[in-house]
Structure 1
């Protein structure tokens, strides 16, 4: 459990002490009053919709004995200029107490899936600390690191990015020994303006690696990533890819098994994109000295968060593909390719808007519509969202397609037209909430059979 003497904490943060008698030491730290224990430290973070300073009194009622704040409060406290910076400094200080491999994962798409695959692979060799949810930002990463303890053999950190400098901050907090970048794609291009800027922002991870012990694990099939990485990193590199790529670690898929260095693995998840994600996880294992045969024999069933590569089988062999957690042009294309390859009856794609594409949005939605048609998808159903809907339908011109105004209308339409053996993909950005349509359709189809 995290612990630190108050005097050392004050010196670490260059804080001003106040609020009366301060405790000698704190045990545990949290930014959430609901998870505080007796004798713990409360960090009063501020956000757009909340201010932790409003809850300092409640934190002390829940067991806190010291607070880190930006303005004086009556309770014992350490006054700092920025509580978020202080929280991150605290996490880095605690992380420095542990000489264990820290694997940091970023990329435009596939971060969370790859993180979970790495967790599963490393768990065959010992206890792994990894985020239970999608905690990959300025608050989530330090929260994870502050949970480190002596029992952990590995730590896996996911790093998201909404602009330049964010991954640099997270990496200098986590001090990773392994930096893995899945790919460079269109996610957040509306914010960053170009693929080159996205690549540079992702490769901030590599600049934070220690040159003597660090290793970069990179997708050999992504030329933009490889070229950008060379500007940021001159240390060890291991590339990964499927057979046919010029990768250091390759996998051969024979239709049933994925062969890596002579070891056969049952792919944990379907789709070519997930084969690549799994090879990336195995590359981490290789770099950390794990035996691949032992990994194969010890690998457990993978449990992904809802909305990611989830296949739901209903009566009459109707299958729903739940990819509702998020969507970007590259992940949407990969999901469509998976749908197109699924054996069964009709293949129906239910697509919603891909957000944060800025001036590129119309062109990228139009391209996705064209990909639906080129892959032979039988029908495209689109949740209406202005010009992006028009772009999807224009790109898909020549195939069966329709746009509908809301989630329930989509579910009702699909239930009324469903046929045995249908394969129905749901894919959209998180804010679209397309899982509502999926859940409602599932209920409608089940009600019909009851």
Structure 2
């Protein structure tokens, strides 16, 4: 970020209070990071005091100053410390958007916005891996993809950066469109459209329209990178004014792969006779890799350069992360869950050999609306047909539905264990584990299925490949 106190005041229109008059450097003192959690403040940062559901950030302004904050932005007067400042604004969240919008107008970096039902974070990081070796740029940190995360991510880009990869998400109609208009991307990427957040949007068609809001923010000079194997996405893109680059398995895509093989923590494939080897578990990561290749080409990178970048990719924690916990292997895919990501994780589980049992520890998939019962029953079926699992531990509201599906697919009653929550799942699982077992832990974020992995981590843990 390349902002001064003067820039901050001009962009937001807030009332500036300086501890010293005249101000040092005429108000041109550069500020550090923008931080919304007072506990994370470091010397030189600016604490942006946002009101929350459970606490008001302004109540922690003095704590932030005590930690060395250069200044505070809040909706109430704050007395700055010597050498510092405070900025009073009517609405801190609106002011954050105003600052990000002002900042975007001064950025020369190519902004890449990534959205989709699943795979956003992995695709974002793969694009970053492709571009970073030769160009200067940033990618959204952590899961910064909402009404706060997108402006904060945008503000981490520097005026000398070549690119900024931003992850964009939404849980209601209009949210992705608003975030895309703020980011003004030159490249828009949709990973896929699937049965996720059906409860919020109301159905697949509504999900499709919501993700398609990204295309509406692309000008004629921009480019959309889209999954070409989905005919509904192709139909949606007919009204897109931007250039379109298609990726997928079909031969009619601009970027497609052949000779695809996944195993032992490596995804191998070819694009136009160029070999790729990406250090990830599961062939479902091919979608993200092809999208990243398409973006790399738009930046003029050769296939050999793109392959070299993808070979350095580091998988994102809690997304198909394979850990060796003593004599037991854990597949930590606990960040979130929906039907398509469950299927992908179960397919990965089936890749593991027969030295031990394949075990599924799963929690509910939330926000599926009226389809929840049917989709959880199908999950139970998939535990057998896709995951080839020998044992199931299920918790949550739909645990019995999952168990019913698994039993109908052929899993014996004695192989099914119902649990109340993630911790009970972990405890019951631990009592049955044997050397060589492979455990897949997965569920929606609210289910906290990472507790299963944390309990397994009582063994010596090592990340595999």
TM value normalised by structure 2: 0.86
Which secondary structure does the structure 2 equivalent of 1:203 belong to? helix
Corresponding residue number in structure 1 for 2:449: 434
Q: Matched residues in 2 for 1:383 and 1:100: separation? A: 46
Partner of 1:328: 338
Structure-2 residue corresponding to 1:261: 272
Match for residue 137 of structure 1 among 146, 159, 164: 146
Q: How many corresponding residue pairs?
A: 440
User: Cα deviations across residues 159-207 of structure 1 (Å, max 9, x unaligned)?
Assistant: 1211122212222222211110111122211111111111111121121
For 1:31, which of 6, 29, 36 is the aligned residue?
36
Q: Map Cα deviations across residues 376-407 of structure 1 (whole Å, 9 max, x no partner).
A: 62334233223x11211122223133323344
- Report the Cα offset of residue 99 of structure 1: 1.4
Q: Distance in 2 between matches of 1:253 and 1:188?
A: 33
2:256 counterpart of 1:250 = yes
Is contact 1:104-1:180 (8 Å) kept?
yes
1:418-433 correspondence runs (5 A): 418-433=433-448
C-alpha deviation, 1:52, in angstroms: 1.9
Distance 1:408 1:197 in 2: 35
Which residue in the other structure is 1:45 paired with?
Answer: 50
1:220 aligns with 2:231: no
Provide closer, same or farther for how the CA distance between residues 440 and 164 of structure 1 changes in structure 2, counting only shifts above 3 A. Answer: same
Cα RMSD for the two superposed structures: 2.7
**SS class of match (1:425):** strand
Q: Superposition pairs for residues 8-407 of structure 1, below 5 Å? A: 9-15=8-14, 23=23, 24-25=26-27, 27-28=30-31, 29-34=34-39, 41-64=46-69, 67-73=72-78, 77-212=86-221, 214-231=222-239, 233-242=240-249, 244-255=250-261, 257-316=268-327, 318-345=328-355, 346-375=357-386, 377-386=388-397, 388-396=398-406, 397=408, 398-400=410-412, 401-407=416-422
Q: Distance in 2 between matches of 1:36 and 1:310?
A: 30
Structure 2 unaligned regions, length at least 5: 263-267
Unaligned runs of 5+ in 1: none
Report the CA distance between 1:412 and its aligned residue: 4.5
Shift of 1:83: 1.4
Deviation at 1:109, TM superposition (A): 0.7
- Separation of aligned partners in 1, 2:44 and 2:442: 45
Inter-partner Cα distance in structure 1 for 2:78 and 2:422: 47
Residues 33, 55 of structure 1: 8 Å contact kept: yes
What displacement does 1:155 show?
1.2
Q: Rate the CA distance shift 1:264–1:16 in 2: closer, same or farther, 3 A.
A: same
**CA contact under 8 A between 2:246 and 2:254: conserved in structure 1?**
yes
Distance 1:39 1:110, change over 3 A: closer
| Residue pair 1:118, 1:156 contacting (<8 A) in 2 also | yes
Q: TM-score, normalised by structure 1?
A: 0.88
With over 3 angstroms needed to count, the CA separation of the structure-2 counterparts of 1:37 and 1:324, relative to structure 1, is: closer
